[in-house]
């Protein structure tokens, strides 16, 4: 899986934790040149130190808000000037958001989540893909791969987390379209979409990086419930970020587009597709776990303590 990676360049956003950190570890051990990007400077610094100790040939660490167009454009220019076109781009940075009922989300909630989860991916695609295509046009043996991190929430519509769902559905659509567009113009640059389910990473506490940090006292009941449920689900996950990183590199080697942490969850995706094809109303998200649905409804309707 690691053959041929030595000396090649990878850009990894969200490199300070979770999937980004684990992908960095695999890439560093393979002797790659790494551009590590994260908004959290302390975590990024530790990741860069670790990358060098694991064998990365060269490490560039950049504290960047991936949702900021100007900052991402400056990053892309620096990458090109230092390394040339990257062979791999991992548009991985993501936040969980505050959760809660769709109509209770403020404009700031929407802006923050979409800036990171969607615009971060958009910037990575629009800035690095042209570089990769240029490199491919100049060298028939050059190969590149882009991995965009979405979520199973990008293929489903779990309740009480609408802002996150919207951002991840957009990433899935963007990446599927990118795949089709690349197929029109090249055989040398490929892409994949990563759709993890609940995996222990730092995303459940990503509010720490929100520009105007959330005040717990101002959160609605639905937002508090969503946060508690997400943190519990993420912490209980048995598939690790390290497992997912290994799946990502294996998928790139096989030119596999869809990457899933929990293939067993695809039954829910099939049900959603059948709902659409058969013109039936969306299936209850808690059909297989009615006790969870009953508890959530009870809490949201105020019949139990919050």
pLDDT (0 to 100) of residue 210: 60
What is the model's pTM? 0.90
Radius of gyration of the chain (CA): 20
The CATH number of the structural domain formed by 9-300 is 3.40.50.720
Task: Name the residue ranges covered by the structural domains of the chain.
Answer: 9-300
Dist CA 165 CA 144 (whole Å): 29
| Lowest mean pLDDT, pick from 136-145, 153-162, 201-210 | 201-210
DSSP-derived pairing of the beta strands 189-195 and 258-260: parallel
- Angle value at C-alpha 152, between 257 and 61, nearest 5 degrees: 70
pLDDT (0 to 100) of residue 215: 58
* Residues 41 and 67 sit within 8 Å (Cβ to Cβ): no
Looking at per-residue pLDDT, the higher value among 223 and 60 belongs to 60
| Sequence-separated (6 or more) residues with CB below 8 Å from residue 126 | none
Query: Region 39-44: what's the mean pLDDT?
Result: 97
Query: Region 285-297: what's the mean pLDDT?
Result: 89
Residue 2 has pLDDT above 60, yes or no: no
- Backbone angles phi and psi of 166, in degrees to 5: -60, -45
Residues taking part in catalysis:
164
With left for phi above 0 and alpha for psi between -120 and 50, is residue 146 left, alpha or beta?
beta
pLDDT in tens, 101-125: 999 999 999 999 999 999 999 999 9
| The two three-digit tokens of residue 167, written as one number | 């951002």
* Residues 193 and 171 sit within 8 Å (Cβ to Cβ): yes
* Residues 262 and 197 sit within 8 Å (Cβ to Cβ): yes
Q: Residue 104, Cβ neighbours under 10 Å: how many?
A: 17
Confidence of residue 304 (pLDDT cuts 50, 70, 90): very low
Confidence of residue 289 (pLDDT cuts 50, 70, 90): confident
């Amino acid at each position: 899986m690691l053959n041929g990676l030595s000396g090649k360049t990878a850009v990894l956003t969200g490199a300070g934790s979770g999937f980004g950190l684990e992908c960095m570890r695999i890439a560093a051990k393979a002797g790659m040149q790494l551009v590590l990007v994260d908004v959290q400077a302390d975590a990024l610094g530790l990741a860069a130190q670790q990358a060098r100790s694991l064998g990365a040939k060269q490490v560039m660490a950049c504290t960047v808000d991936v949702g900021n167009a100007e900052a991402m454009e400056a990053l892309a220019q620096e990458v090109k000037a230092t390394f040339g076109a990257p062979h791999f781009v991992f548009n991985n940075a993501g936040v969980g958001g505050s959760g809660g009922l769709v109509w209770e989300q403020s404009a700031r909630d929407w802006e923050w989540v979409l800036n990171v989860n969607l615009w971060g991916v958009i910037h990575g695609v629009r800035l690095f893909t042209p570089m990769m295509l240029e490199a491919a046009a100049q060298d028939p043996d050059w190969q590149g791969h882009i991995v965009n991190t979405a979520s199973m929430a990008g293929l489903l519509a779990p309740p009480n987390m609408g802002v996150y769902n919207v951002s991840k559905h957009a990433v899935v659509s963007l990446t599927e379209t990118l795949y089709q567009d690349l197929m029109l113009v090249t055989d040398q640059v490929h892409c994949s979409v990563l759709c993890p389910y609940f995996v222990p990473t730092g995303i459940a506490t990503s509010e720490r990086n929100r520009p105007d940090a959330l005040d717990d006292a101002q959160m609605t009941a639905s937002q508090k419930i969503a946060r508690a449920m997400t943190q519990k689900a993420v912490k209980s996950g048995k598939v690790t970020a390290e497992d997912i990183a290994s799946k990502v590199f294996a998928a790139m080697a096989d030119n596999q587009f869809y990457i899933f942490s929990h293939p067993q969850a695809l039954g829910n995706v099939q049900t959603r597709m059948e709902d659409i094809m058969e013109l039936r109303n969306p299936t209850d998200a808690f059909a297989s776990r009615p006790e969870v649905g009953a508890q959530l409804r009870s809490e949201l309707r105020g019949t139990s303590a919050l």
